[in-house]
Amino acid sequence: MMTRTDDDRLRVWRGFLEAHASITERLDEELRAERGLPLTWYDVLVNLGEADGGRLRMRELADAVLFSRSGLTRLVERMQKAGLVAREACVDDARGTFAVLTTSGRRMLRRAAPIHLRGIDEEFSSRLSDGDVRALGVAIGKLLRAPDAT
């Protein structure tokens, strides 16, 4: 069986994984150093901050986070202890729980966002030409499309 996974494609795949790991590690280090906030916590705060009323069902939050979903319940518990989020029972579904952004969480998000955006610019955006951004956008769009939509 012939595949399209030749040496060049494997090299690009490996480079993609290494670039992602390296950039997210540096972004995490910056947020921790300047705000004491792990990147995973920032991801939760961003998703809650963008949600209607600053709240999402835990299931929706798990679908929205860009990092590991496996430990989300424990992560939210730690964030709750830190006062950044609250958990509320869902009135219309006894099994459902909401994660809710607190005032402290919103304040932390406002303080951390400029550091994160600066990091994205330094580690990603400033290293790409406009043509690179367009080409990468097209390639990522192809990767994100459902396999049966092609």
Positions of E strands within 14-132: 55-57, 85-90, 93-101
What is the chain's length? 150
Instruction: For the chain, give the percent of residues with pLDDT over 90.
Output: 77
> Is 68 within 8 Å of 96 (Cβ atoms)?
no
CA–CA separation, 96 and 77 (whole Å): 15
pLDDT tens-digit map of 85-126: 999 998 887 778 999 999 999 999 999 999 999 999 999 999
